[in-house]
Structure 1
Amino acid sequence: MAKAMLEWIVKALEVLASVVLMAMMLLTFVDVVGRYFVGAPIFGATEMISTMLALIIFIGLGIANARDNHIVVELVDSRFRALSPKVYDAIVQGFSILAMCLIVYVLYEQAVEAAHTGAKTVVLEWPLSAITGTVAALAGLSVISQVLGLIVGEGRDSHSASGGNI
Structure 2
Amino acid sequence: MSLVSTFIDKGLKRSAFFLAVLSALSLVAILVVIVASVVLRKFFDAPLFFAEELVGLLMSASLFLALPMATMKGQHIRVTLLLDSLKARAPFLEKAIILFGILVGISFCGWIFWEAIPWMEFAIKRELKSETARILLYPLMSVVPVSMGLCGIIYLARLLGFIKLEER
Q: TM-score range by the shorter chain?
A: 0.7 to 0.9
Query: How much does 1:140 deviate?
Result: 1.7
TM-score, length basis structure 2: 0.81
Matched position secondary structure for 1:119: coil
| Structure 2 partner of 1:90 | 99
Report how many aligned residue pairs link the two structures. 157
Cα distance in 2 for residues equivalent to 1:129 and 1:16: 16
Cα distance in 1 for residues equivalent to 2:83 and 2:75: 15
Within a 5 Å distance, the mapping from 1:111-150 to structure 2 comes to 111-149=120-158
- Give the one of 78, 81, 91 matched to 1:72: 78
Aligned-pair RMSD on alpha carbons?
2.0
Residues 60-69 or 28-37, more deviating: 28-37
Larger Rg: 2
Cα distance in 2 for residues equivalent to 1:132 and 1:102: 16
Percent identity between the two aligned chains: 21
Per-residue CA deviation, residues 30-51 of structure 1 (Å, 9 max, x unaligned), is: 1112123321112311111111
- Give the one of 44, 64, 70 matched to 1:38: 44
Query: How much does 1:13 deviate?
Result: 2.2
Cα distance in 1 for residues equivalent to 2:21 and 2:139: 21
Residues 19-28 or 132-141, more deviating: 132-141
TM-score, length basis structure 1: 0.82
Cα distance in 2 for residues equivalent to 1:133 and 1:11: 18
8 Å contact kept, 1:13–1:62: yes
Gaps of 5+ in 2: 1-6
Gaps of 5+ in 1: 159-164
